[in-house]
Amino acid sequence: MTPHQIQRFKGLTVVKFIVCAASVAIAAPALAQNASNFEGGKAGIVLGYDTVNFDYGYDVDASESGMLYGVTAGYDFALGTSGAILGIEAEASDSTTKTSAHDILFEGDKLSLLADRDLYIGARIGFAVSPNMLLYAKGGYTNARLKLRYSLDGDSASIGDNIDGYRIGGGAEFTNGSNFARLEYRYSDYGKYVYREGDIELDTGVKMSRHQVAVTGGFHF
């Protein structure tokens, strides 16, 4: 390579570096602007499809579906000029899902389970892929109300209790400034249900998890 070619190569390298630096400098404010469109408080209504999986043990399980409905609120923060947001959110929801199984402990018995209200609090992190669209992942703590009824030979007993678990999920959010809409999938796992009352602790052997597809719409302020 001649001295002239070397000099030309160095010049092209400097030009490329300047172009790249300029692109980053131009893109950074745009990304920051995109993220700022999603920053702030939000409150909305949640509707969706709820599938609850009950594992009764003894090789007996069931999966039932119903309607999910509830309310949600949260706040999102823009993370500098990265185009990312970090948010906190809470949700209170209920479901129409219920199921039952027979011959659990004795022949002719029946165990019915109803997935009642569900509380959630967690965090999410997302990236604004455009001024109006955000892709995000979420996770946090969930507490579900479980109603259980057991019957045998005409006698029955029922209890209601709370079970703790975790939720993970992800989705897309859209905004026009004053309103927002989300489409998301989430999975919740509540582990094994252990009934406790005073000094009594009874491992029911029942495990519960759920899959949900939810649509949320509300106000951005």
Count the domains in the chain: 1
pTM of the model: 0.76
pLDDT at residue number 32: 58
Q: Mean pLDDT by 10-residue block, N- to C-terminus, for the chain (221 residues)? A: 46 39 39 80 97 72 85 94 92 87 75 85 96 96 86 77 93 94 96 75 78 97 90
Closest CA to 143 of 162, 171, 130, 156: 162
pLDDT at residue number 75: 97
CA distance 209 to 69: 17
Please give the residue range of the domain that contains residue 213: 3-220
- Within 8 A by CB and 6+ apart from 158, the residues are 147, 148, 149, 150
Here the tokens at position 144 are 């579900």
CA distance 36 to 168: 25
CA distances from 190 to 53, 159, 206 (A): 10, 17, 10
Rg (CA), the chain: 26
pLDDT at residue number 111: 75
Which CATH number does the domain housing residue 215 bear? 2.40.160.20
